[in-house]
Amino acid sequence: MAKKVIDKAPIKELSKLLEELNLAEISYKEGDFAVSVSRRSVQTVSQAIPKQTDLNPDSENQKDVDYKNDPRVVKAPMVGTIYLQPEPGANKFVNEGDRIKSGQTLLIIEAMKTMNPIESNLQGKLVKVLIENEQAVEFGQPLMLIE
């Protein structure tokens, strides 16, 4: 019986994509060939918060506001499903009006059956939660507004 050689190229490519896209896990399947690459880590959301006293989100019509370019917004670091609480029936990680501390878990994004806690390195007041529990989100989608 001949020794089977593993083609490392797809694994290296997936590993590179994993890093580039800041994913926790990635899989690929073509015919009988399937490979998955994963890493276990806590994702950190990093945003700069400029002082903007002239912006008051409560005075604007929330449905008409485009938060994509707002520097106060925490954005999704990956594609997945949002969970605002650690388990069904539990309290939410954070609520509007809460003071957010650096390292505090804001929510979980489930991506490819992996739960990814999203922590903040920001400090400030959670002004607005822009998503619903169990909502599917895209990479870069605004999640929360912190001042």
H/E element, 20: helix 9-20
**Residue 101 pLDDT exceeds 50:** yes
- What CA–CA distance (Å, rounded) separates 44 from 118? 6
**Domains assigned to the chain:** 9-38 (no CATH), 43-146 (2.40.50.100)
Average pLDDT, the chain: 77
> What confidence tier does 61 reach under pLDDT thresholds 50, 70, 90?
very low
Least confident of 25-34, 82-91, 93-102, 129-138: 25-34
pTM as predicted: 0.56
Predicted pLDDT at 41: 47
Tell me the percentage of the chain whose pLDDT exceeds 90: 29
What is the C-alpha to C-alpha distance for residues 96 and 91, in angstroms, rounded to an integer? 13
pLDDT > 70? residue 4 = no
pLDDT number for residue 1: 60
Note the pLDDT tens digit of each residue in 102-135.
789 999 999 888 899 988 867 899 999 999 999 9
pLDDT given for residue 54 in this prediction: 45
Average pLDDT over residues 16-27: 75
Distance of CA 73 to the CA centre of its chain: 12
Which residues contact residue 103 at a Cβ distance below 8 angstroms, ignoring those fewer than 6 apart? Answer: 119, 120, 121
Q: Has residue 20 got a pLDDT over 90?
A: no
pLDDT, one tens digit per residue, over 29-55 is 777 777 777 765 444 444 444 444 444
Neighbours of 62 (CB within 10 A): 11
